[in-house]
Structure 1
Amino acid sequence: MSRSLPQAIVALGAGAIFGFGLSLSGMLDPVRVQGFLDIFGRWDPSLAFVLAGAVIVAFIGVRIARRLAHPVLDKDFHLPVARAIDPPLIIGSALFGIGWGLAGLCPGPALASLSLGLWQTALFVAAMITGMVLHDRLPARRR
């Protein structure tokens, strides 16, 4: 899919705002994320507040988008069409959750954390990209 220059600029700006928000909220710190997941130990509720803020912003955005005939910089909205809860979705979700709990990072914060220059984050991102490439190269019948 090719993007126009305005689309690329808006995508870059949105990514920068997202990364800044993750940094400002402390979500680039894997220890804080793991603290949120440690409900029987020293639980850190700060991620719940970040999540609540994100849900509010997304809710408002979806309400506005539903009133539009098409996006500002595209002809159509590109929404997911699959609605089934199938084994690949469950397995993928479980792997995501296990990885998030072990590393304290998920894809967005991991990419934003690259700006910190930590080798552990670079290793995580390399492993994440390797997994994505391997997934895309698996024969379709195995997926």
Structure 2
Amino acid sequence: MKHPYAQLAIALVSGLVFGFGLSLSGMLNPQRVQGFLDIFGVWDPSLAFVLGGAVVVATFGVQIMRISSHPVLEPRYHVPTNKKIDAPLILGSAIFGIGWGLGGLCPGPAVALLSMGSVKPTVFVVCMLAGMQVHDRLLRTSQTSDPPIDLQLRR
């Protein structure tokens, strides 16, 4: 049984908590991210602490998932089944890292920065979405194991 309004509400609350956490930790500042990537200059380790905190929280989520039969609002968990490290994974990771390093923005902070109306994050997000569209239209295979969750509200 689908609960589209509850799913949407949880997605919105989750996004707000995520955005607040990014802002509170200073990760909306591209100089912080670039400082973390500047290992031969003035290295800023703050991103490592944010990532470490995320791993701790995610670990609890994975443990809850393992002991429960299904999520509260879905009949099953949507977990990737592909566990192999292949060329598309490595190439995609490298392209992601290059974009992250050049722009100083990760997708989450970039989307959060859209609310501030700045040009740089807007250009970044538009280009990121364009890249996703290029991938989906030209390169995506029909081998995806799990379609995206449909959050369209039906009447």
Percent identity of the aligned residues? 61
Q: Deviations over 1:96-119 (max 9, x none)?
A: 011111111111111011112110
- Distance in 2, matches of 1:118 and 1:25, equals 19
1: CA distance between counterparts of 2:92 and 2:124? 17
Question: Is the contact made by 2:110 and 2:125 (CA closer than 8 Å) also made in structure 1?
Answer: yes
Match of 1:32 in 2: 32
Query: What RMSD, in angstroms, separates the aligned Cα atoms of the two structures?
Result: 1.4
Name the one with the larger helix percent. Answer: 1
Structure 2: gaps of 5 or more residues = 142-155
- In the alignment, what sits opposite 1:69? 69
SS of structure 2 residue aligned to 1:51: helix
Report SS of the residue matched to 2:64.
helix
**What is residue 85 of structure 2 aligned with on the other side?**
85
Equivalents in 2 of 1:37, 1:49: separation in Å? 14
TM-score, normalised with respect to structure 1: 0.93
Q: CA deviation at 1:77?
A: 0.1
Q: How does 1:11-26 map to 2 (within 5 A)?
A: 11-26=11-26
Greater RCO (Cα-Cα under 8 Å, separation 6 or more): 2
After the TM superposition, which parts of structure 1 deviate over 2 Å for at least 4 consecutive aligned residues?
Answer: none
Distance in structure 1 (CA, Å) of the matches to 2:140 and 2:72 = 34
How many Å separate the matches in 1 of 2:93 and 2:68? Answer: 31
Unaligned regions of 5+ residues in structure 1, if any? none
Q: Kindly state the Cα deviation for residue 3 of structure 1 after the two structures are TM-superposed.
A: 6.2
The residue number in structure 2 matching 1:49 is 49
